[in-house]
Amino acid sequence: MSTRERRAPAAAALLFFALMLAAAAGAAAGGAVLLLPEQVWTAGEPVHRGWAVLTDGARIAAVGPAAQVHAPAGAQVIELRGATLLPGLMDIHSHLFLHPYNETLWNDQVLKEPVPYRTLRAGVQARATLMAGFTTLRDLGTEGADYADVSLRQAIEDGLVEGPRLFIATRAIVATGSYGPAPRGLRPDVCCTPQGAQEASGVPEVIRAVREQAGRGADWIKVYADYRWGPGGTQQPTFSEEELRALVETAHSSGRPVAAHATTAEGMRRATLAGVDTIEHGFDGTPEVFRLMAEHGVAYLPTLTAEEAYGEYFEHYARGTRPPTPGMARAAQAFRYARAAHVIIGCGSDVGVFAHGTNYRELEWMVRLGMTAVEALTAATATDAKILKREADLGRAREKMLADLVAVGGDPTTDITAIEHVVLVMKDGVVYRRP
Ligand SMILES: [Zn+2]
């Protein structure tokens, strides 16, 4: 290739980055903004018609009847006719470093896609998420992309990439031999294939893995308490109770909570007794184990949409025309058990299995399975903030809280599908999307 031919893409790349920086700089204004929607849902109260919200810098300065909210001179005024303003939505089980498995199978993403490619994709996917009104994610593992989420979180904080506020788990921790892609299906002398997470065996290795991930920047520690590594690919517990207790103690003493992937009742039981903070999936949870979670204050992230997506990709499930797959039925049953046992239920979808920016599907599933629209919205705002231990400044539209706000056309408190129609997105007082 000649020098001349090479220059064109380089110039295009420079222009692209210049535009990105300009966009970031434009977004970072952060002055006072007066938002005038049709109504405001603050999370926790009935909808208030005719209310306004004033933000100043990164925080909410005032919330109340429009006539009583006075904007300072020079404030930006944004009219949001016909829209409902609510706290920024949260999805606290995401994988920004994955993309849908009907595009590329998980194994192929982990084994064939270079980490730089996956990281660039993650940046684009973070932007799609933010524009869909999800201003906070807990990203539960890079699935083989090492510590790239630390850089993504940094780039978002620096304003280089537009994306949600991230709480990250870096590599996640799995029991040796239990996770993918290797060793199952490969000849035993194949070594050094990338792993979807960090392997550990025994108390000292588990403690080391927690400390390594914490040291590299993990906000949360993610552990796989079970996985399909039993005979014939059956789901079986992975770590012993002793290993899980050591993992949780180490994480907690470093100030980090623990999220446990668990689908079996025994995996859920061990994780709960070890003191984890959240359990993910829980598809084969029994009423007894959900009661145990409620007693121990362990929160549940149902990831209902992941099962729907698996059904669509691998079992010919079609929305509206086919009955739920066995996997979807199990997920629905678990959700009902969890509600009956009064477990704390947050919104966590496993997005990445399905398309980023369509996180709203999880709230729609929660409503389809019996929650009111307000209960689902509460799960995705105030409850998720509480699970993140950030209820003091996130998850509600209240004075002095961080100005993470979203406006949607219509009334999502009576029709949850309104959250598909985002008209405004603000994070930290910066407007990223507006009418
Ligand atoms: Zn996941």
Q: Which domain holds residue 52?
A: 31-88+397-433
Q: What is the pLDDT of residue 29?
A: 52
Q: How far apart are CA 290 and CA 298, in angstroms?
A: 9
Three-state SS letters, the chain: CCHHHHHHHHHHHHHHHHHHHHHHHHHCCCCCEEEEEEEECCCCCCCEECEEEEEECCEEEEEEEHHHCCCCCCCEEEEEEEEEEEECEEEEEECCCCCCCCCCCHHHHHHHCCHHHHHHHHHHHHHHHHHCCEEEEEECCCCCCCCHHHHHHHHHHCCCCCCCEEEECCCCEEECCCCCECCCCCCCCCCCCCECCEEECHHHHHHHHHHHHHHHCCCCEEEECEECCCHHHCCEECCCHHHHHHHHHHHHHCCCCEEEEECCHHHHHHHHHHCCCEEEECCCCCHHHHHHHHHHCCEEECCHHHHHHHHHHHCCCCCCCCCCCHHHHHHHHHHHHHHHCCCCECCCCCECCCCCCCCHHHHHHHHHCCCCHHHHHHHHHHHHHHHCCCCCCCCCCCCCCECCEEEEECCCCCCHHHHHCEEEEEECCEEEECC
Residues 354 and 402 in one domain: no
Residues 37 and 132 in one domain: no
Task: Please determine, for residue 411, whether its predicted confidence score (pLDDT) is greater than 50.
Answer: yes
Q: What average pLDDT does the structure give for the chain?
A: 93
Tell me the average pLDDT across 279-284: 98
Q: What is the pLDDT of residue 183?
A: 62
Residues 118 and 261 in one domain: yes
Task: Please determine, for residue 121, whether its predicted confidence score (pLDDT) is greater than 70.
Answer: yes
Categorize the per-residue pLDDT at 193 as very low, low, confident or very high, splitting at 50, 70 and 90. confident
Categorize the per-residue pLDDT at 36 as very low, low, confident or very high, splitting at 50, 70 and 90. very high
Whether residue 263 is contained in a domain is answered as yes
Residues 178 and 289 in one domain: yes
Residues 325 and 426 in one domain: no
Listed residue (288, 272, 296, 282) closest to 334, CA to CA: 282
Residues 411 and 286 in one domain: no
Whether residue 39 is contained in a domain is answered as yes
Residues 152 and 61 in one domain: no
- CATH number, domain of 45, equals 2.30.40.10
Task: Please determine, for residue 101, whether its predicted confidence score (pLDDT) is greater than 90.
Answer: yes
CA of 271 to the centre of ligand 1 (A): 16
Whether residue 2 is contained in a domain is answered as no
Q: What is the pLDDT of residue 191?
A: 76
Tell me the average pLDDT across 205-215: 98
Q: Which residue has the higher pLDDT, 191 or 313?
A: 313
Residues 150 and 68 in one domain: no
CA of 9 to the centre of ligand 1 (A): 36
Number of domains in the chain: 2
Task: Please determine, for residue 232, whether its predicted confidence score (pLDDT) is greater than 90.
Answer: no
Whether residue 24 is contained in a domain is answered as no
In sequence order, the 6+-apart residues with CB closer than 8 A to the CB of 152 are 96, 119, 122, 123, 126, 161, 163, 166, 168
Whether residue 19 is contained in a domain is answered as no
CA atoms within 13 A on the CB side of 424: 30
Listed residue (229, 228, 261) closest to 244, CA to CA: 261
Categorize the per-residue pLDDT at 187 as very low, low, confident or very high, splitting at 50, 70 and 90. confident
Q: How far apart are CA 380 and CA 397, in angstroms?
A: 13
CA of 278 to the centre of ligand 1 (A): 13
Task: Please determine, for residue 18, whether its predicted confidence score (pLDDT) is greater than 50.
Answer: no
CA of 274 to the centre of ligand 1 (A): 20
Q: What is the pLDDT of residue 68?
A: 97
Residues 161 and 292 in one domain: yes
Whether residue 392 is contained in a domain is answered as no
Q: How far apart are the first and last CA of the chain?
A: 45
Residues 429 and 289 in one domain: no
Q: What is the pLDDT of residue 45?
A: 84
Q: Which residues surround ligand 1, an ion (CB under 5 A)?
A: 350
Q: Which residue has the higher pLDDT, 325 or 17?
A: 325
CA of 170 to the centre of ligand 1 (A): 12
Given a contact cutoff of 8 angstroms between Cβ atoms, the answer to whether 258 and 251 are in contact is yes
Whether residue 211 is contained in a domain is answered as yes
CA of 81 to the centre of ligand 1 (A): 37
Categorize the per-residue pLDDT at 184 as very low, low, confident or very high, splitting at 50, 70 and 90. low
Q: What is the pLDDT of residue 2?
A: 39
Tell me the average pLDDT across 128-155: 98
Residues 43 and 169 in one domain: no
Q: How far apart are CA 151 and CA 320, in angstroms?
A: 40
Give the percent of the chain with pLDDT over 90.
Answer: 87
Alpha carbon 289 to its chain's center: 24
Q: How far apart are CA 347 and CA 224, in angstroms?
A: 19
CA of 94 to the centre of ligand 1 (A): 6
Task: Please determine, for residue 298, whether its predicted confidence score (pLDDT) is greater than 70.
Answer: yes
What confidence tens digit (pLDDT) does each residue in 379-404 have? 999 999 999 999 999 999 999 999 99
CA of 331 to the centre of ligand 1 (A): 14
Q: How far apart are CA 222 and CA 372, in angstroms?
A: 30
**pTM here?**
0.92
Given a contact cutoff of 8 angstroms between Cβ atoms, the answer to whether 430 and 112 are in contact is no
Task: Please determine, for residue 147, whether its predicted confidence score (pLDDT) is greater than 90.
Answer: yes
- CATH number, domain of 370, equals 3.20.20.140
Residues 190 and 232 in one domain: yes
Q: What is the pLDDT of residue 9?
A: 43
Whether residue 306 is contained in a domain is answered as yes
